[in-house]
Amino acid sequence: MSALGGLAFRIMGARVAVWAGKFVPGPVPMSVIESLEDIEVVDKDHGRSGFQISFRAERRGILGVLDYPQLALRTLSPGNRIIIAAWLGVKPAVVMDGIITHLDLDPVNKRVTLTGEDLAVVMDRDEQLVHHTGLTPSWIVLKILAAYARYGIIAKIIPPRVNKVPGPHDGCPTQHATDLVYLERLAETCGYIFYLEPGPAPGAATAYWGPPQRTALPQPALKADLGGQSNLTSIAFRTDAMATTGVTGSVKDPQTHMTIPVKTIRSTRVPMSKGELLGTLSRTIRLGGVEGESWSAAMARAQAHTDRSTDDVVTAQGELDTVRYGAVLRARGTVGIQGAGYRHDGNYYIKRVTHKIKRGSYTQSFTLTRGGSGSLTPVVRP
């Protein structure tokens, strides 16, 4: 996919490009790009990510004879696909791959605004009643994702420990929901997650269905209070001693008819700090909705709840200048912090990133989390 005609901004060593179209977007005309004022992209680890692009509404040029150029251009119509990518080196980082859901015109203040959500929106439109007869959970995921191949979606599926074809007494897996909702529910029953991520290249997207993963190579370090090496404009930390939640209950196994206790005592996440145990101020809840559920499925669901609760014990929020930082932060990834002291240094999970792009500036505000205090490593990735 060429960047010609798609150049939006040059920001002191960075380039940002925009493409738009139906299924395979193309470059936006330069006349429209020149009227682009700002871009905001919210990349988050839970729920759909979103974007907003604003243009100056000026009726000039060939496209402005009948209407505002942004409205006359069919590729910018609601329902079409938008791709936003940034170059901070040789390789582009796809910041957003989504669908335009709203178009707003303010002729008094001369502003056209496009709003949209990530590609998951196309999977959450039509409720369906489908029987997935004779298929394992991972094969069901492949079957559903195959319908979206025209969007360049690449499936990354990790089969669960219990990944067998349902027996005659287990019932047939039945979908009575949108594809997105069903994939998320199916993932939850296995203690898994499902999400779509833009990239690895413009025009492609990755669909991940598997266990939460926090073992990828951390992104370049965020540096605070280190003089000329600092790359943050702000950062603040908060510790919540009441964030963690244990789960207790029991389940009557449908095969053995025995009542088996279900209890979680700690997170199974790969630790990022020394204080990962459930604390003295943690809460305990009862496990519900277990009728007809196997012990392994109930335990996976309970453990997933506890794992999620320990994610937010320590939260860091801040902002950086993207050009000075030299990289694009990714939600669901990990990043190290330097210069905040032993208690708060070390690696964190990236929960949310907001990209704000204007002519002459590109900033990223972020929310990072982990399960406790105290760095596990003397150094982080530089």
> What share of the chain has pLDDT > 70, as a percent?
91
* Alpha carbons 208 and 239: distance in angstroms, whole number: 30
Bridge partners (DSSP) of residue 337 are: 222, 346
> Over the stretch 165-221, which tens digit does the pLDDT of each residue have?
776 556 788 999 999 999 999 998 888 999 999 999 999 999 999 988 876 788 999
Q: With 80 as the cut, is the pLDDT of residue 72 above it?
A: no
Q: Which of 65-69, 87-91, 125-129, 194-198 has the lowest mean pLDDT?
A: 65-69
The pLDDT of residue 63 is 60
Instruction: Provide, for the chain, the percentages of residues in helix, strand and coil under a 3-state DSSP scheme, each rounded to the nearest 5.
Output: 20, 40, 40
Please compute the mean of the pLDDT values over residues 74-78 and round it to a whole number: 89
The pLDDT of residue 5 is 40
More confident residue, 30 or 373: 373
Please compute the mean of the pLDDT values over residues 76-104 and round it to a whole number: 93
> Over the stretch 144-160, which tens digit does the pLDDT of each residue have?
999 999 999 999 999 98
> Over the stretch 264-313, which tens digit does the pLDDT of each residue have?
888 888 888 887 655 556 678 888 766 777 787 788 888 888 888 888 88
The pLDDT of residue 67 is 80
* Alpha carbons 185 and 194: distance in angstroms, whole number: 9
Mean pLDDT of the chain: 87
Amino acid making up residue 156: K
The pLDDT of residue 75 is 87
pTM: 0.86
Q: Which of 8-12, 27-31, 309-313 has the lowest mean pLDDT?
A: 8-12
More confident residue, 61 or 184: 184
More confident residue, 43 or 252: 43
Please compute the mean of the pLDDT values over residues 73-99 and round it to a whole number: 91
Q: Which residue carries 């139906």 as its tokens?
A: 22
* Alpha carbons 40 and 356: distance in angstroms, whole number: 5
Bridge partners (DSSP) of residue 288 are: none
Is-contact 73 82, C-beta < 8 A?
A: no
> Over the stretch 98-122, which tens digit does the pLDDT of each residue have?
999 999 999 999 999 999 999 999 9
Q: With 80 as the cut, is the pLDDT of residue 11 above it?
A: no
Q: With 50 as the cut, is the pLDDT of residue 3 above it?
A: no
Region for 39 from its dihedrals, namely left if φ exceeds 0, alpha if ψ lies in -120 to 50, beta otherwise: beta
Residue 340 pLDDT grade (very low, low, confident, very high; cuts 50, 70, 90): very high
Is-contact 382 218, C-beta < 8 A?
A: no
The pLDDT of residue 336 is 94
As a three-state string, the secondary structure of 254-294 is CCCCCEEEEECCECCCCCCECCCECCCCCEEEECCCCCCCC
Q: With 90 as the cut, is the pLDDT of residue 318 above it?
A: yes
> What share of the chain has pLDDT > 90, as a percent?
50
Please compute the mean of the pLDDT values over residues 35-53 and round it to a whole number: 94
